[in-house]
Amino acid sequence: MKAAVLYGKEDLRIERLPIPEPAEGEVVVRVRAALTCGTDLKVYRRGYHAKMLQPPIPFGHELAGHVAMVGAGVVDFHEGDRVVALNSAPCCACDFCRRGQENLCDDLLFNNGAYAEYIRIPARIVAKNMLHVPEFVPLEHAAMTEPLACVVHGMEETGVQPGDQIVVIGAGPIGLMFIHLAHQMGADVIAVVKRDTQAQTAKALGASHVVDASVVEDVVAAVRVWTPDHRGADAVIEAVAMPQTWQWAVDMVRKGGAVNFFGGCAAGTTVALDTNRLHYNNLTLRASFHHRPSVCRSAFAWIASGKFSSAAFLTGRAPLGDLVPVFARMMDRGAHSSSADIKTVILP
């Protein structure tokens, strides 16, 4: 079979690998749609991910397809079933799992290799984090379950409610998902973007107001203008992963509000925050990492219901053989992308 293998920093190769065979409890999925992702781009740039993978390794983690082979002992899935397999599964036995924090599992099992004709799904993911996809849900939409699950997790932990005013800093694929999901949940959304094409997309996906950080002198003040009495938003989601935007987030939220540092900065990054403001404004600061099985099911329910406009995020299609130039364009999209450049569907 053809598969993409990551060997290191910006070293991605399309190779021929054996079609995997399922062991007990496992299945092999014929991949029908795999999606590009900001995390994959970050890993491609860095050449590794401390938690998810170390090269050389098959690459990609957002996928949906048909069950091609079933291992011994699998009873809930059969050959031909339409499925979406998540990229991880918790052990459900460690202290974090027992506390309902499965995303922090001491033995969180990751799976990669979505950019391929076939992928083996480990038994634990089959048992805990693989879902049937109804015929009325396009497989390329179902493949978006994993990133949307991370967004649902972030929204739940931030405590966003209908009627809240929230700021989303960043208009990459994840930032746009936050904007759209918050809008669908009944929140009023202010988007902070870095170029005009992102502003157009943010508005189309539900932002009431957009602040272009590249053209305003004081981004925080420009955001606060849109809040009642300039007091700040009820919640701020940071989805850029830069020290400056982490600081903006704290300065944009109202007294008693919540900030979610969703964007993960590089290891060793430090941020200076005003402790007086944090304490006397009674702010809640948190960060959300990854997802849990329950939010994966919530995310899939949003997709299956049609309330989340999955099609709006799938803005390009390419065969597996074109994956390397697709990533090259993603690397350069800050200078040359259009408003339609969000996610590419890779079709093995």
Instruction: Count how many domains the chain has.
Output: 2
Q: What is the pLDDT of residue 267?
A: 85
Domain membership flag for residue 294:
no
- For residue 297, the surrounding DSSP H or E stretch is helix 293-305
Q: What is the pLDDT of residue 334?
A: 53
Do 138 and 156 have their domain in common?
no
In a domain, 304, yes or no: no
Same domain, residue pair 56 and 89: yes
The region that residue 329 occupies, defined by phi over 0 for left and psi between -120 and 50 for alpha, beta otherwise, is alpha
- Asked if 253 and 339 sit in the same domain, the reply is no
The two most distant CA atoms of the chain are separated, in Å, by: 63
Kindly state the DSSP code that residue 321 receives in the 8-state scheme: G
How far is Cα 223 from Cα 231, in angstroms, rounded to an integer? 10
Residue 38 forms part of a structural domain:
yes
State the residue range of the domain holding 238: 151-286
Half-sphere exposure of 194 (CA within 13 A, CB side): 12
Q: In which element (H, E) is residue 221 found?
A: helix 219-224
Quote the CA–CA distance of 311 and 303 in Å, as a whole number. Answer: 10
Tell me, what's the pLDDT at 47?
Answer: 77
In a domain, 291, yes or no: no
- Which residues are within 8 A (CB) of 166 and not within 5 positions of it... i.e. 6 or more apart? 158, 160, 182, 187, 188, 189, 190, 233, 234, 235, 236, 237
> Long-range contacts of range 280-283, CB-CB < 8 Å, 24 or more positions apart?
281/254, 281/255, 281/256, 281/257, 282/255, 282/256, 283/250, 283/253, 283/255, 283/256, 283/257, 283/258, 283/259
Indicate if 27 and 133 belong to the same structural domain.
Answer: yes
Q: What is the DSSP letter of 110?
A: E
Q: Do 114 and 207 share a structural domain?
A: no
Same domain, 170 and 271: yes
**CATH number for position 98:** 3.90.180.10
Residues of the chain with pLDDT under 50: 337-339
Q: In this structure, are 270 and 213 located in the same domain?
A: yes
What pLDDT does 339 receive? 47
Q: Based on the fold, state whether residues 9 and 114 are members of the same structural domain.
A: yes
This prediction's pTM: 0.96
- Spatial distance between the Cα atoms of 337 and 200, rounded to a whole number of angstroms: 13
- The answer to whether residue 297 is domain-embedded is no
* Statement to judge: residues 123 and 18 lie in one domain: yes
